[in-house]
Amino acid sequence: MMETIIYQEIDEAIARGESFYKIRSYVEKAILERALIKTRGNQTEAAKMLGISRTGLGGILKRVSR
């Protein structure tokens, strides 16, 4: 079900003519939000869960928050 929602949002973004990088940022943001919810906002644990460094998570958060 979540997969269907993500595909629908991607389809709508493509129809609006949004760039690959903008659409990718939506998906990345959704992934980070879910991981942070699961870890109750603990960025270190969220990074471990996703298999990335804490610094990497911070960089992605900064980029997708623009």
Question: Which residues fall within 8 angstroms of residue 13, CB to CB, at 6 or more apart?
Answer: 22, 23, 26
Write down the pLDDT at residue 1.
61
Residue with tokens 């270190």: 44
Closest to 66 (Cα-Cα) out of 13, 9, 25, 8: 25
Q: What is the pLDDT of residues 29-63, one digit of tens each?
A: 889 999 999 999 999 999 999 999 999 999 999 98
Tokens 């911070």 appear where? 58
pTM, 2 dp: 0.81
